[in-house]
Chain A
Amino acid sequence: MSGTHTDAAISRRVRKLEALLEERGIVAGAALDEALDAFLAGSSPLNGARIVARAWTDPAFKERLLADGTSAVAELGYAAGGVQPQRLRVVENTARTHNVVVCTLCSCYPVRLLGPSPSWYKSEAYRSRVVREPRAVLAEFGCVLPADTEITVWDSSAETRYLVLPRRPAGTDDLTEQALTDLVTRNALIGTATL
């Protein structure tokens, strides 16, 4: 990351830009604050975790989620999109298949459902390699899959955002939906971890 010297310089320049845009009536600082607060309050991996826990406990919801992710998460009050509306596609891990998500060209990510993406997701190392050698990359996350697991890498290159539906861990039959939500990690929702 940038050092503090660079940070001070760029933060001065960003302030200058914001003041200039405000002066010209293009943006309003208060509206920016509001939009940012709303974004941060509404965008978190907890949303994705809740969707997964619901799918694990409600087979009809799971069926709708896999058939039409956009509409199914809307039932729970969620949308995939950022600035523009986006389609959500949920991809399910099974005993034989594993899914992992990337955006090799930039950093497309279901921000409303997962919050802002982690640094590694935006890194050249992840973007360049996961489409070429997913097993090696997953192993760096400590995620080692059986040799016969079929891996699909979803490279989000348009207006669809992908969310992985991880396998429900064994021995969780007695857990409540809330307790299941707590088990779901951000990496599992991206596909760089299993649960």
Chain B
Amino acid sequence: MTDRFASGARVRTVHHDPTHHTRLPRYARGKRGVIVEPEGRHPLADIRSQGRGDAPLEQVYAVRFAARELWGEGDHEVVLDLWESYLEPEAEAGH
């Protein structure tokens, strides 16, 4: 299986709002970020948290977000560890 995203790729997080466990926090949903690096494949926590044995193994990526993108202000950055299915490609000049 090849990774969907390379380091440096621009991505946008999905805007999901599940009732189950997830590792994509509210503050980072539907936000644009940049892939820092892949971290290795892990069972998708959203599924495994339901006690199911069929959680897909997905690449997890460190993804960097500008504070301004997350909060509308601020000069710091936040990095989150996100499973591949939380991410969509973002067009190069996307807004």
Query: Does A pair with B?
Result: yes
- Whole-angstrom distance between the Cβ of A70 and the nearest chain B Cβ: 9
Judging by beta carbons under 8 Å apart, are B40 and A152 in contact? no
Q: CB of A157 within 8 A of chain B?
A: yes
Residues 41-88 of B at the A interface (beta carbon under 8 Å): 42, 45, 60, 62, 64, 70-71, 74-83
Size of chain A's interface in residues, with CB distance under 8 A?
Answer: 20
For A91, the closest partner residue in chain B by CB is B79
Q: Which residues from A are CB-within-8-Å of B77?
A: 150-153
Q: Please, what's the 1-or-0 string for A109-135, where 1 marks a CB less than 8 Å from any CB in chain B?
A: 000000000000000000000011111
Interface contact B79-A158, CB-CB below 8 Å: no
Q: Does B3 contact A (CB under 8 A)?
A: no
Q: Map CB proximity to B onto A57-74 as digits: 1 under 8 Å, 0 otherwise.
A: 000000000000000000
Does B23 reach chain A (CB closer than 8 Å)? yes
How far apart sit A151 and B66, CA to CA, in the bound complex (Å)?
10
Residues of B contacting A134 in the complex (Cβ-Cβ under 8 angstroms): 76
Which residues in B have their C-beta under 8 angstroms from that of A133?
74
Residue A87 is within 8 A (CB to CB) of chain B in the complex: yes
From B24, which residue of chain A is reached at the shortest CB distance? Answer: A157
CB-CB under 8 A from A87, the residues of chain B are 39-40
Quick one: closest A residue to B83, CB to CB? A158
Shortest Cβ distance from A195 into chain B, in angstroms? 21
Docked-complex contact B76 and A157, CB < 8 angstroms: no
Report A143-191 residues with CB < 8 Å from chain B CB.
150-160
Complex CA gap A133/B64 in Å reads 16
Cα–Cα, bound, A158→B25 (Å): 12
- Shortest Cβ gap from B34 to chain A (Å): 12
Cα A159 to Cα B62 with chains together (Å):
11
Q: Are A135 and B82 in contact (CB under 8 A)?
A: no
> Quick check: A159 and B74 within 8 Å, CB to CB?
no
Q: Roughly how many angstroms separate A131 CA and B64 CA in the complex, as a whole number?
A: 12
CA distance A171 to B68 in the complex (A): 38
CB distance from A56 to the nearest CB of B (A): 24
Chain A residues near B23: list those with CB within 8 A.
Answer: 105, 157-158
Q: Show 27 A/B contacts (Cβ-Cβ < 8 Å), sorted by A.
A: A89-B39, A104-B27, A105-B23, A105-B25, A131-B27, A132-B71, A132-B74, A133-B74, A134-B76, A150-B75, A150-B77, A151-B75, A151-B77, A152-B77, A153-B78, A153-B79, A154-B78, A154-B79, A155-B78, A155-B80, A157-B24, A158-B45, A158-B81, A158-B82, A159-B60, A159-B81, A160-B60
> Which residues of B are interface residues toward A (Cβ below 8 A)?
23-25, 27, 39-40, 42, 45, 60, 62, 64, 70-71, 74-83
